[in-house]
Amino acid sequence: MPTHPSDEERETRDSGKAGAVRTRRKAERPGEILEAAFEEFVQKGYAATRLEDVAARAGVTKGTIYVYFENKEQVFVAMVRELSRPVHVQAEEFAESSASSTAEFLRAYLCFLYRILATDPRGREIFRLLIAEANRFPELIDEHHQNFMGPVVRRLRQSLEDGAERGEIRRSSILEFPELLLSPALSLNISMLLFSDRRPIDMERHFEIAVDLLLNGLLQRPAGKADQPGQSS
């Protein structure tokens, strides 16, 4: 995430009045602007971000942003939508690929959600922005709920019910809050957002241990049988 324009961009700008540059990327401009906007908004927050900095990072000038977007708010909204879409798509695609046993599916699903929420810097920072600006952009929260969190939770619940039916999973009341299965990933997300550079975390291992915790719990059992992440990896 470079603060200054990359060499490539600088080069294009230096080339001055060369119109070829303008038209060459016409179609790519909006995406480039949103990309730049993401970096800036993440770094400074919505209100403290200067659209001129966004423009500079995208290798254009202030005015160009207004060619493609109504105003600062719309840049922000469009950026969140643009960067969220691939995630939503992936989530849907994942839903297609069925899985055999419940435990197996849950593991895969949680792994996927870890990647989205905590491992991927993009997803992580989008989350930060949603939390920070929830009051200013309620419609983004609504969309996020509708397109991501809602379906995910529904899927988790479904999966838990299936598991319970098959006898793989105990019929606990977790069905009331399936999002609890997300909490390790969310928690890691927050940790990364707050302490990332302070506390380097082995995310692989965090995941393994979280799965172990979720599946087996803390309490001593008569005979341990399920995943023992410490030994396996």
Partner DNA sequence: CATGAATGAGTCTTCATTCAT
Partner DNA sequence: AATGAATGAAGACTCATTCAT
Which residue among 61, 146, 183, 233 contacts DNA (CB under 7 A)?
61
Please check whether residue 229 is in contact with residue 208, taking contact to mean a CB–CB distance below 8 angstroms: yes
CA dist., res. 58 & res. 32, Å (int): 6
Which residue among 62, 165, 194, 204 contacts a copy of itself (CB under 8 A)?
194
220 is a site residue for a copy of itself (CB under 8 A): yes
CA dist., res. 120 & res. 87, Å (int): 10
23 is a site residue for DNA (CB under 7 A): yes
CA dist., res. 187 & res. 116, Å (int): 13
Please check whether residue 179 is in contact with residue 197, taking contact to mean a CB–CB distance below 8 angstroms: no
CA dist., res. 125 & res. 49, Å (int): 15
The residues in 148-187 that bind a copy of itself, with binding defined as CB under 8 A, are 149, 160, 163, 167-170, 172-174, 176-177, 179-180, 182-184, 186-187
* Residue window 39-68: x/- pattern of binding to a copy of itself, with contact defined by CB under 8 A: ---xxxxxxx--------------------
Closer residue to DNA (CB): 61 or 233: 61
Cβ atoms < 10 Å from Cβ of 218: 5
CA dist., res. 49 & res. 72, Å (int): 9
**Of the candidates 55, 57, 37, the residue with the CA atom closest to the CA atom of residue 46:** 37
212 is a site residue for a copy of itself (CB under 8 A): yes
Rounded least distance, CB 67 to a copy of itself, Å:
12
**Of the candidates 116, 135, 121, the residue with the CA atom closest to the CA atom of residue 46:** 135
Closer residue to a copy of itself (CB): 31 or 203: 203
Which residue among 37, 49, 116, 148 contacts DNA (CB under 7 A)?
49
CA dist., res. 144 & res. 104, Å (int): 27
Binding stretches for DNA (CB under 7 A): 13, 17-20, 22-23, 25-26, 29, 48-52, 60-64, 66-68, 71-73
Binding stretches for a copy of itself (CB under 8 A): 42-48, 103, 106, 128, 130-136, 141-142, 144-145, 149, 160, 163, 167-170, 172-174, 176-177, 179-180, 182-184, 186-188, 190-191, 193-195, 198, 205-206, 208-210, 212-226, 228-230
